Structure 1
């Protein structure tokens, strides 16, 4: 009996051939191939998710058993309905770790060496050598989120002889972090940090985690970097902290509303770096992603189980 693997995007022929070799009964189809005659009852797996599919696949009697998210974050997916209908979920956690680490290292080095100020001064032909310069090794860097991205960053910083302080759910020890603390210690640790980097997924516990109260206790010279989720930050509170110079600098790759509206006042601040959600852009993405999917597909076809990047639907990660 033919079953469908429905994907939001196409993948190279070599990967589709691997799927056929693993399970000849599974037929790969992309969203743009769907027509009025498409049999939704045959969809057993999706690669990615579209909200348009919810009324077709998250219903009683649906054949859907597994969703492979294309991203690491799954906060935009209908998790409660997945749980209701027994749909398993896996994500792309880890694929973007090196890319996001490279992005963060670029920011850290440019900020510590005064490159951002130099670039702004260049626009005005202003020769201004009087800028704050720091050795990266002297900075207390707080990494909020010690998963694969956080570990990759901490390992790279360790190479540069920098100490990384980690924040995770319960304060468990993680390789390459000199210290780790539970999330409830965030405000206390943020008071002492020169740099605070958010890499957390979005959950009920992390929505607007970075708010006025937190920004108020941070050093006035501190840098805040967000490559996690936009909604983890109270954007209005962050903006006001930057305007009032209660916070030194922010580098933001994700936002509550994307794209960031052209008239939003964050664009006008000189102590902000805005990048358009590109920190996770990864060369050779298909190959890295398919390594996760194909391994899971083999286990699914043989035993009905998953082996990689399984998401706990209740916790959202």
Structure 2
């Protein structure tokens, strides 16, 4: 079993993988025309993986080091019978904490105060009476998986009503209500916070568009920690300009890095973070735990133990 390491396995981790049997870890700098044809599995994804996908008839398992896999050639995996797994689940805590940081920044006047700081304006009297608490507010969360559920749980702690939106509309813990996609816009229109954590699929590309934002009658804060292309950027900018939205917290964008010419940089009611909401110091260790479990299972059974991606659905 030869595995191409594209996510910087430590020596200790490589030793642990070797304990599974005849497992040989190949680093990208050691990849050549000969051994690229012998790769059975890949950990991570980059241009080296694209080369191996073409070269190796033995490639049958790929362990992504991310939750989203929309940047991978899923249809090619299907044709070649390749199993793909992701690291879904490890992002729930860091991303949900980021969302709470965004929400509190708007609710408690931090965004407005920060905007006044460059001009050294003391805006206490103005901001104090605009502040609000999260009790009895409503958050509509598009996506009710691990991350959506973690966000809902934290918001409920503050007394916020949580509404989930999913394809199935089935009940999920920590959501006061779960509705289907076709009901989501109606619920979002009356919300205080609209939060996107959906995966990127053909159905979710530009899901948040002009028609969606035009329906927002309660001027909610829009938060995107899902995928950038789920949002029509120009429609979002227009909605902010026209006060259809009270503000936005954005961690992902249609084009990354965000273009320096984007008006979003200059908007006082927008929080921008550079696609960091899922990051945390223990990321490598937690991702490896999933790789180890899946590789052990794959060697024994030809199947993975957890987080198998539905290649047709895209997540």
Task: Map residues 9-158 of structure 1 onto 2, 5 A cutoff.
Answer: 9-23=7-21, 25-34=22-31, 36-58=32-54, 62-128=57-123, 129-131=125-127, 132-158=130-156
**Could you say what the CA RMSD is over the residues aligned between the two structures, in angstroms?**
1.4
Deviates more, 1:68-77 or 1:115-124: 115-124
Q: How far has the Cα of 1:29 moved from its partner?
A: 1.4
Q: How far has the Cα of 1:55 moved from its partner?
A: 4.6
Change (3 A) 1:174 1:220: closer
The Cα offsets for residues 151-191 of structure 1, whole Å up to 9 and x where unpaired, read as 11112222223221101111010011010001111211111
Of the three residues 167, 174, 192, the one matched with 1:169 is 167
Equivalence for 2:312: 314
Indicate if the aligned counterparts of 1:164 and 1:178 stay in contact, CA closer than 8 A: yes
CA distance in 1, matches of 2:89, 2:16: 22
Indicate if the aligned counterparts of 1:4 and 1:29 stay in contact, CA closer than 8 A: yes
The Cα offsets for residues 110-159 of structure 1, whole Å up to 9 and x where unpaired, read as 11111110111122121222232111112110111011001111122222
Equivalence for 1:195: 193
Length-normalised TM-score, structure 1:
0.95
The Cα offsets for residues 30-89 of structure 1, whole Å up to 9 and x where unpaired, read as 21222x454122100000122443354246x71000110110000000000000000000
Indicate if the aligned counterparts of 1:99 and 1:281 stay in contact, CA closer than 8 A: yes
CA distance in 2, matches of 1:41, 1:150: 40
Indicate if the aligned counterparts of 1:168 and 1:183 stay in contact, CA closer than 8 A: yes
Indicate if the aligned counterparts of 1:6 and 1:43 stay in contact, CA closer than 8 A: yes
CA distance in 2, matches of 1:52, 1:289: 20
Gaps of at least 5 residues in structure 1 are none
CA distance in 1, matches of 2:73, 2:153: 34
Indicate if the aligned counterparts of 2:42 and 2:49 stay in contact, CA closer than 8 A: no
Change (3 A) 1:55 1:15: closer
The Cα offsets for residues 282-313 of structure 1, whole Å up to 9 and x where unpaired, read as 22112111111111111111111111111000
Q: How far has the Cα of 1:220 moved from its partner?
A: 5.1
Equivalence for 1:254: 252
> What is the SS of the residue equivalent to 1:164?
strand
Indicate if the aligned counterparts of 1:57 and 1:63 stay in contact, CA closer than 8 A: no
Gaps of at least 5 residues in structure 2 are none
CA distance in 2, matches of 1:37, 1:248: 55
Equivalence for 1:271: 269
Length-normalised TM-score, structure 2:
0.95
Indicate if the aligned counterparts of 1:167 and 1:182 stay in contact, CA closer than 8 A: yes
Which 4+ residue blocks in structure 1 deviate beyond 4 angstroms?
none
> What is the SS of the residue equivalent to 1:240?
helix
Equivalence for 2:242: 244
